[in-house]
Structure 1
Amino acid sequence: MMADSWVYIVIICAGWLATDIWRWLGVLAGNRLDEESEALRWVKAVATALVMAVTVKLIVFPTGSLADTPLWLRLGATIAGFAAFLATGQRVAVGVVVPIVLLAAGMALL
């Protein structure tokens, strides 16, 4: 077991080195960017669209244990979570916890 552990160390180091340089370049470049620039608005729009696409895919075409829940439960939990998110001043934790609790309760009752 110890003889093979060097492989994991190499993977961790290579992964760290490969990504860390981009993090530092992002920090350096990010300090010089105007947050109201057209380019950053486009990046935010694309990022938001990608997150929403993944979210909708998980709701409409779920996998795993989420696939065992009916569509009305997934949609209801999503709507309730979004409503709770807005009602609490856009607290992300509330928007995440409320649908999870509703899904768990719905799965327990079904």
Structure 2
Amino acid sequence: MSYYALDAWWWPFVFILIAGWLATDIWRWLGVIVGNRLQEGSLALTWVRAMATSLIAGIIAKLILQPTGSLADFDIYLRVLAVATGFLMFLMAGKRIAVGILVALLVLLVGDWGLNFRILTRLW
């Protein structure tokens, strides 16, 4: 059966639900089963953490250097300043994620305000 097999309004939702579940849930269960057998400091778990960290770092770098949407309207120096300030405040606040995100957002908004609402006027 293919995606185009049914012409019902609900079929795309069911297809996404099933495909999304199969694509992610199987790997989650395998992770739980295999993860319970690994030692905390094992080489395999260290490798998994390194891969996860590098993927997140790559996504953040792409958002800063090649953003899409409204973030692309901000100058690169403002994006870098927001990330650096947010990260610094994240560390200073005892590694609280919400603090880092809010400070970075505030730097973007204040920077936009300092540039005469160049971006905010396009969003409204």
* TM-score of the superposed pair, with normalisation by structure 2: 0.75
Counterpart in 1 of 2:69?
Answer: 64
Question: Could you tell me which amino acid in structure 2 is paired with residue 28 of structure 1?
Answer: I
Is 1:23 aligned to residue 28 of structure 2? yes
Query: How far has the Cα of 1:91 moved from its partner?
Result: 0.9
> 1:5-60: per-residue Cα shift (whole Å, max 9, x none)?
13422431343244322222211211111121112112211221221122122212
Is 1:53 aligned to residue 58 of structure 2? yes
Which secondary structure does the structure 2 equivalent of 1:89 belong to?
coil
Q: Which moved more, 1:11-20 or 1:76-85?
A: 11-20
Task: Determine which of 82, 87, 105 is the counterpart of 2:92.
Answer: 87
1:107 shift after superposition: 2.0
Once residues 67 and 11 of structure 2 are traced to their aligned partners in structure 1, the CA distance between those partners, rounded to angstroms, is: 38
Cα RMSD of the aligned pairs, angstroms, is 2.0
Aligned residues: percent identity? 52
Cα 1:47–1:19 shift into 2, 3 Å: closer
Aligned AA for 1:12?
L
CA distance in 2, matches of 1:35, 1:98: 33
Q: Distance in 1 between matches of 2:19 and 2:50?
A: 32
Distance 1:11 1:65, change over 3 A: closer
Amino acid at match of 2:66: F
Corresponding position: 1:103 with 2:99: no
Q: Which runs of 5+ in 1 are unaligned?
A: none
Instruction: Decide which structure has greater helix share.
Output: 1
Deviation at 1:108, TM superposition (A): 3.1
Deviation at 1:63, TM superposition (A): 1.9
Distance 2:114 2:42 in 1: 49
